[in-house]
């Protein structure tokens, strides 16, 4: 019999912890959740006060039996799943299956997987925190109710297989509404007048911008106004009227939270949110290092706190002073947002002495990039401010005021180690000038510009918005974005999140009929309720009950109202070759397609063929735009029959008028292969559909 059985979530974490415990201990993995709500039904007993009907997850029977056997052969079982609500719930389910009483002191947590943290955790076990478990149950039950009650409405009115979710639908709504803002945006004209001058002593040139007239701010909206000013300034003298010198400090950013790590990894490393969390998980659970074995490199990566431990603070101080000098260190404390859970520290390196470049050979390229980002951000957060010498010069030409701003780096401080994107600013070097001094005009010109619409969301900016609006928590950002991309409600085009036609139509239906649920305020309010449950201030079943009654009434009302409502489909100019009706445009998982409105009598459907206005460079036929299975566009002549038949034109690049077709054999071979794959996949789907149809007929 062994003294201690420690159950964690993943094998990687188990391997790291094993080396910290003696031979009389055993560490095994639960492989994540082992019990959950059933997929085939709601799984919540509404009549019995919303009692969840948990079942063992399919395929985990042998694992559960193995865990039970190990538990029986152990004097003490410790549940060391992740230190968050999800981890607490997994520990609770494990305790249930292993027959461990709820009041048993068996729960251990550690914010970092180091020898000290693990041994402290094992030495200070506690009871399972049922408040945290209830907060997780409340989220799970509420999301299941919303999904299972609203999704069937989408099945009836749009297509089967679609899903609605409390958080994911709000994220889609934000993206759709941003797209509508962009589409409805009306640009406004504005002008800037720029003056290039040089001082007469050093001949140094620098640029000034027109800011006002007689000390009052002016805005220019048309060429007539600009031409009038340019004419007035034709023979003007330019005199320095004010010089202000100063010093500006720039402070470092706090160490990473989940959200800020995801944003920075997206901007600087071009990592998708899902990838960032996956790589961070491996750094937390442990990486094999030659001298130390499997070692956890960062603290827990799901946190909304910027707090750090005193030990980490002292280690950072020692490293900074030794490497950069005393003047580069500053003991900093960061205020965590009031709505943050603050259960864990900020994301930081677990071992300050393991610098990224020292262990680079033991890391994958992605692990190295993310670890270096986390390491440098944390170290910079404990360093001195960067200091700039600044100068602001006001130059008058007649009654018009021009301003030039300049700055030079005086002390790099934390920027020796870490530079944020926002700090990459360009400033002219402004020479020493005195009030009353005349400067020489080198060039005076005007530039027309137009206001621009708001930018589309990227994964980084969407996470930032979700956090600012209180939607979701650190553990939910990545799965939310992954879900709406997988469902094809949105797609990623050059890092931008763009709603698909399917996403727009689903959002319209949900917003028009479930606006009380699919909105920012309700979703944020529920997050606050979950936080209260976690603190023991609310009972989870009471929260669900108060939500359910009005929600159920809305669902019944919507189902009744939509019962005889048919979606209006756009009629195309393509006749159905089987029955003669004009085909309509419908939306499927992969976008638009043509379907016969006579369904189910006539089940004819076919893809919409997109063409461009440039003729085929080989035969003059129409060029079609098609997509590979990875959604990449390619161009092919309508007369290309494949297998060296018909016109040979096929290319990754959009043809230009008058160009000569000269594709490489490799490109053509790759494209033909892609074409066959897509065709094979489509044929396979049709066969499966036909078999299913035949079975149902029997």
pLDDT in tens, 433-469: 999 999 999 999 999 999 999 999 999 999 999 999 9
Question: What is residue 75's DSSP assignment?
Answer: E
Mean pLDDT to the nearest integer, 114-135: 93
Give residue 694's pLDDT band: very low, low, confident or very high (50, 70, 90).
very low
Question: What is residue 360's DSSP assignment?
Answer: G
Identify which has the larger pLDDT, 560 or 248.
248
CA angle, 498 as apex, 492 and 499 as ends, to 5°? Answer: 120
pLDDT in tens, 532-544: 999 999 999 999 9
Active-site positions? 300
Mean pLDDT to the nearest integer, 35-50: 93
How many angstroms separate the CA atoms of 92 and 516, rounded? 33
pLDDT in tens, 491-519: 998 889 999 888 998 999 899 889 888 89
How many angstroms separate the CA atoms of 156 and 559, rounded? 10
Residue 405: beta bridge partners?
Answer: 392
- E strand map for 398-479: 400-411, 438-450
The answer, yes or no, to whether residue 424 has pLDDT greater than 70, is no
Q: Give 159's contacts (C-beta < 8 A, 6+ positions apart).
A: 586, 587, 588, 589
The answer, yes or no, to whether residue 662 has pLDDT greater than 80, is no
| pLDDT at residue 654, rounded to an integer | 83
| pLDDT at residue 263, rounded to an integer | 94
The answer, yes or no, to whether residue 693 has pLDDT greater than 60, is no
| pLDDT at residue 691, rounded to an integer | 46
The answer, yes or no, to whether residue 590 has pLDDT greater than 70, is no
Give residue 529's pLDDT band: very low, low, confident or very high (50, 70, 90).
very high
| pLDDT at residue 628, rounded to an integer | 75
Query: Are 287 and 325 a contacting pair, CB within 8 Å?
Result: no
The answer, yes or no, to whether residue 683 has pLDDT greater than 50, is no
Give residue 525's pLDDT band: very low, low, confident or very high (50, 70, 90).
very high
Among 169-173, 253-257, 333-337, 556-560, where is mean pLDDT lowest? 333-337
Give the containing element (helix H, strand E) for 557: helix 540-562
Identify which has the larger pLDDT, 246 or 665.
246
The answer, yes or no, to whether residue 696 has pLDDT greater than 60, is no
| pLDDT at residue 680, rounded to an integer | 47
| pLDDT at residue 29, rounded to an integer | 93
| pLDDT at residue 124, rounded to an integer | 93
Give residue 572's pLDDT band: very low, low, confident or very high (50, 70, 90).
confident
The answer, yes or no, to whether residue 320 has pLDDT greater than 60, is yes
How many angstroms separate the CA atoms of 521 and 79, rounded? 36
- E strand map for 451-540: 490-493, 496-499
User: What is the chain's mean pLDDT, rounded?
Assistant: 88
Give the containing element (helix H, strand E) for 386: strand 386-397
Mean pLDDT to the nearest integer, 276-295: 92
The answer, yes or no, to whether residue 259 has pLDDT greater than 50, is yes
Give residue 421's pLDDT band: very low, low, confident or very high (50, 70, 90).
low
| pLDDT at residue 143, rounded to an integer | 93
Q: CB 243: neighbour CB atoms within 10 A?
A: 16
Among 116-130, 391-405, 412-426, where is mean pLDDT lowest? 412-426
| pLDDT at residue 192, rounded to an integer | 96
The CA-atom distances, in angstroms, between 134 and each of 78, 501, 542, 605, 636 are: 21, 38, 11, 48, 57
Query: Are 595 and 583 a contacting pair, CB within 8 Å?
Result: yes
| pLDDT at residue 260, rounded to an integer | 94
| pLDDT at residue 531, rounded to an integer | 92
Mean pLDDT to the nearest integer, 556-569: 74
| pLDDT at residue 422, rounded to an integer | 55
pLDDT in tens, 159-198: 777 888 889 999 999 999 999 999 999 999 999 999 999 9
| pLDDT at residue 229, rounded to an integer | 95
| pLDDT at residue 292, rounded to an integer | 86
| pLDDT at residue 566, rounded to an integer | 61
| pLDDT at residue 282, rounded to an integer | 95
Among 202-211, 237-246, 526-535, 566-575, where is mean pLDDT lowest? 566-575
pLDDT in tens, 602-643: 889 888 888 888 899 888 899 988 877 666 778 898 888 776
Give residue 588's pLDDT band: very low, low, confident or very high (50, 70, 90).
low
Q: Which two tokens stand for residue 64?
A: 């559960």
| pLDDT at residue 17, rounded to an integer | 92
- Determine phi and psi for 206, rounding to 5 degrees: -155, 160
pLDDT in tens, 186-196: 999 999 999 99
Identify which has the larger pLDDT, 516 or 88.
88
Mean pLDDT to the nearest integer, 301-319: 91
Give residue 210's pLDDT band: very low, low, confident or very high (50, 70, 90).
very high
How many angstroms separate the CA atoms of 628 and 635, rounded? 11
Q: Identify which of 578, 647, 644 has the alpha carbon closest to the alpha carbon of residue 619.
A: 647
| pLDDT at residue 600, rounded to an integer | 79
Question: What is residue 457's DSSP assignment?
Answer: P
Give the DSSP letter string of 621-653: -PEEEEE-TT--EEEEETTEEETTEE---EESS
Identify which has the larger pLDDT, 576 or 670.
576
Identify which has the larger pLDDT, 592 or 425.
592
Among 318-322, 324-328, 399-403, 601-605, where is mean pLDDT lowest? 601-605
Give residue 475's pLDDT band: very low, low, confident or very high (50, 70, 90).
confident
The answer, yes or no, to whether residue 652 has pLDDT greater than 90, is no
Mean pLDDT to the nearest integer, 381-406: 95
Query: Are 582 and 576 a contacting pair, CB within 8 Å?
Result: yes
For 372, the 3-state DSSP assignment is helix
């Amino acid at each position: 019999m062994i003294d201690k059985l420690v159950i964690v979530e993943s094998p990687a974490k188990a391997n790291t912890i094993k080396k910290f415990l003696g031979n009389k201990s055993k560490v095994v993995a639960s492989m994540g959740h082992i019990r959950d709500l059933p997929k085939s039904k709601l799984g919540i007993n509404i009549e019995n006060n919303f009692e969840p009907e948990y079942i063992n997850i399919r395929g985990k029977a042998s694992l559960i039996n193995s865990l039970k056997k190990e538990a029986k052969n152990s004097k003490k079982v410790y549940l060391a799943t992740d230190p968050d609500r999800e981890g607490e719930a997994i520990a609770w389910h494990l305790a249930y299956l292993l027959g461990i009483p709820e009041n048993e002191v068996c729960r251990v947590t550690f914010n970092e997987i180091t020898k000290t943290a693990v041994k402290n955790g094992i030495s200070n076990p506690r009871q399972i925190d049922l408040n945290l478990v209830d907060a997780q149950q409340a989220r799970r039950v509420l999301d299941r109710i919303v999904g299972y009650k609203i999704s069937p409405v989408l099945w009836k009115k749009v297509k089967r297989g679609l899903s609605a979710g409390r958080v994911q639908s709000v994220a889609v709504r934000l993206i759709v509404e941003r797209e509508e803002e962009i589409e409805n945006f009306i640009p406004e004209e504005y002008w800037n007048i720029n003056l290039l001058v040089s001082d007469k002593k050093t001949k140094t040139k620098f640029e000034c911008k027109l800011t006002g007239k007689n000390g009052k701010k002016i805005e220019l909206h048309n060429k007539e106004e600009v031409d009038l000013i340019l004419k007035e300034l034709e023979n003007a003298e330019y005199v320095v009227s004010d010089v202000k010198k100063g010093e500006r400090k720039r402070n470092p950013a706090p160490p990473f939270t989940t959200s800020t790590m995801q944003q920075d990894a997206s901007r600087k490393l071009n990592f998708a949110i899902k990838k960032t969390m996956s790589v961070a998980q491996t750094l937390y659970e442990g990486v094999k290092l030659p001298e130390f074995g499997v070692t956890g490199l960062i603290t827990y990566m799901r946190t909304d706190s910027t707090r750090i431990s005193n030990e980490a603070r002292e280690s950072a101080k020692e490293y900074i002073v030794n490497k950069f000098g005393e003047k580069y260190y500053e003991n900093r404390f960061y205020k965590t947002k009031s709505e943050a859970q603050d259960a864990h520290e900020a994301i930081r390196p677990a071992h300050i002495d393991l610098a990224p470049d020292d262990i680079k050979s033991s890391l994958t390229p992605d692990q190295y990039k993310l670890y270096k980002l986390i390491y440098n951000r944390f170290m910079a957060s404990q360093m001195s401010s960067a200091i700039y010498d600044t100068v602001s010069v006001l130059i008058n030409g007649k009654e018009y005021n021009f301003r030039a701003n300049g700055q030079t780096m005086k002390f790099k401080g934390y920027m020796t180690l870490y530079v944020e994107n926002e700090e990459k600013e360009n400033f002219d070097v402004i020479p020493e000038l005195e009030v009353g001094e005349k400067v020489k005009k080198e060039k005076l010109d005007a530039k027309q510009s137009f206001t621009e619409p708001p930018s589309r969301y990227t994964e980084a900016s969407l996470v930032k918005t979700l956090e600012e609006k209180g939607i979701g928590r650190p553990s939910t950002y990545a799965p939310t974005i992954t879900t709406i991309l997988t469902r094809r409600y949105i797609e990623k085009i050059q890092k931008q999140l763009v709603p698909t036609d399917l996403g727009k139509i689903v959002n319209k239906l949900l917003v028009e009929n479930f606006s009380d649920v699919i909105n920012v305020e309700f979703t944020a309010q529920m997050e606050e309720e979950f936080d209260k449950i976690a603190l023991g201030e609310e009972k989870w079943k009471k929260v669900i009950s108060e939500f359910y009654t009005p929600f159920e009434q809305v669902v019944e009302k919507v189902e009744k109202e939509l019962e005889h409502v048919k979606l209006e489909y756009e009629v195309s100019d393509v006749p159905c070759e089987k029955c003669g009706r004009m085909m309509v445009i419908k939306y499927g998982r992969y976008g638009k397609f043509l379907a016969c409105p006579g369904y189910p009598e006539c089940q004819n459907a076919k893809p919409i063929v997109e063409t461009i206005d440039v003729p085929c460079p080989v035969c003059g036929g129409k060029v079609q735009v098609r997509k590979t299975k990875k959604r990449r566009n390619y161009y092919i002549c309508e007369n290309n029959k494949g297998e060296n038949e018909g016109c040979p034109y096929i290319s990754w690049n959009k043809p230009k008028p008058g160009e000569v077709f000269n594709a490489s054999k490799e490109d053509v071979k790759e494209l033909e292969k892609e074409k066959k794959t897509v065709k094979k996949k489509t044929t396979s789907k049709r066969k499966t559909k036909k078999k299913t149809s035949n079975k149902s007929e029997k």
